[in-house]
Amino acid sequence: MTSPWHGILKKIDDYRWEIPQSYKVGMRVPGLVYASERMLNQIWEEHAIEQIANVAFLPGIMGRSMAMPDIHWGYGFPIGGVAATRISDGVISPGGVGFDINCGTRLLRTNLSVEEVQPKIDELLNELFSKIPSGVGSSGNIKLSGTDIDNVMTRGGSWALEKGMGEAEDIKLTEESGSLSGANPDKVSNKAKTRGASQLGTLGSGNHFLEVQVVDEIFDPEVAAVFGVQALGQVLFLIHTGSRGLGHQVCTDYVQLLNEAVKKYGINLPDRQLACAPLKSDDGQNYLAAMACAANYAWANRQCITHWARDAFMKVFEKGRLDLGMDQIYDVAHNIAKIEEHMVDGKVQNVCVHRKGATRSFPAGRPEIPAVYRKVGQPVIIPGDMGRYSYVAVGTETAMRETFGSTCHGAGRILSRGAAKKTTSGTQLLDTLRSQGISIRVGDIGSLAEEASEAYKDVADVVEVTHKAGIARNIFKTRPLGVIKG
């Protein structure tokens, strides 16, 4: 049977599919989907193709409206969407960043082996769970005053470092050194600040997680060694969370504001969820300043969690920091818009790159990459679901040429949270994971089913596309030993 997208999508090669500019009247550029052919039916059925085409209507969009293989339906932009806009006449769209501003991943390595950790995994998860609050609306150990929260939003990870949480090397090994410039707390509502005042150092709920994982396969030993990964069986620690209620409120506030701005600037869009404003306008600049505040809050959040995670490991394994070797590999954002320098039409220029459910994938030589990685490229952290595996890749020149230095960010949902709950129960899933040798600590057993493996694409299929398309190169693979969910 012929698939519904046949005759509409143009096959460029096995992993690239073009949405012609003629697909919808008003598209300013074509669309481009990175996917295998067997992924396309699900992408089509979810109407994510429509969202890619709609993004192509944005004023000032450059190149193509792009989607990574983990694409699924989102607010305005699809999750897994990438779009770059010109500074001169382009726009900024909160829907191209998402509600969980700077949701991102941070990966730490250890000197511990699976043989050392497996017998103590439940004790370790309990200690991590007690130190790092999780769940809907969770409050942390830090209570921020008005001045404090403004400092967090401007200083980012450095704020936590100055409070004794973490090490200078953590900041060096974080995208943007853990602090996006241009943050202005005056552009963040009091409601957003109130929501963030008690949530610093907390995991949250939904797809956020902490994972104790073990290196399962190494594809490039030389690059893996540069990342500090030396052997199979080495234990790593992965953090996945973002800006919590503060970031969500910033997005909510500016979506409402920019819905009015669209009329003011005479911008015609096929979907009101693409609300935007010219980058050079006060409205556009105000959103960028508020978004930077939320991004910085997220980096401070992950920095605090890093500090408490190290404490938990030290307590459980009765080892000092140096003996544990619990050093940061990298921290990368995957819900953000940034002004970056790219080669476009044969000349270097600044553009605004929206990455929503997409990760930066810069190659060797880029000055934005930490010096220790500059000869090999930026680490790209790609988590899968809690029942399977995750990958670490490295950025490539192909990504710089094709995707404004972007690649996938994870597995990508294929079932809604409600649909996932119909496939299994939290208790059943807990038993299944335990039978696979994966320990789980969760605050709400009922919500655990929302994160079942069946709710996600197989991340191995996703990274096969990005690897073979050349927009990220696989370096090593991990599997979970223990997971904490909110």
Residues comprising the binding site? 100, 207-211, 240, 334-335, 383-386, 390, 409-412, 485
Q: Which helix (H) or strand (E) holds 17?
A: strand 16-19
Dist. CA 313–CA 298, nearest whole Å: 22
Per the annotation, binding residues for Mn(2+) are 100, 208, 240, 334
Dist. CA 3–CA 323, nearest whole Å: 56
Dist. CA 408–CA 395, nearest whole Å: 11
CA distances from 281 to 90, 92, 212, 270 (A): 10, 10, 45, 22
Helices 37-45 and 48-55: crossing angle in degrees, nearest 10, is: 80
* 3-state secondary structure (DSSP) of residue 238: strand
Dist. CA 386–CA 451, nearest whole Å: 8
Per the annotation, binding residues for GMP are 207-211, 334-335, 383-386, 390, 409-412, 485
Q: Is 409 a catalytic residue?
A: yes
Dist. CA 48–CA 9, nearest whole Å: 13
Beta strands in 378-486 (DSSP E): 379-382, 390-394, 406-408, 439-442, 473-485
Q: Which of 307, 354, 409, 467 is catalytic?
A: 409
Largest CA distance in the chain: 64
- β-sheet bridge partners, residue 240: 105, 209
Instruction: Report DSSP letters for 271-324, one per residue.
Output: -GGG--EETTSHHHHHHHHHHHHHHHHHHHHHHHHHHHHHHHHHHHHT--HHHH
By DSSP bridging, strand 439-442 and strand 473-485 are parallel
> Which active-site residues does the annotation give?
409
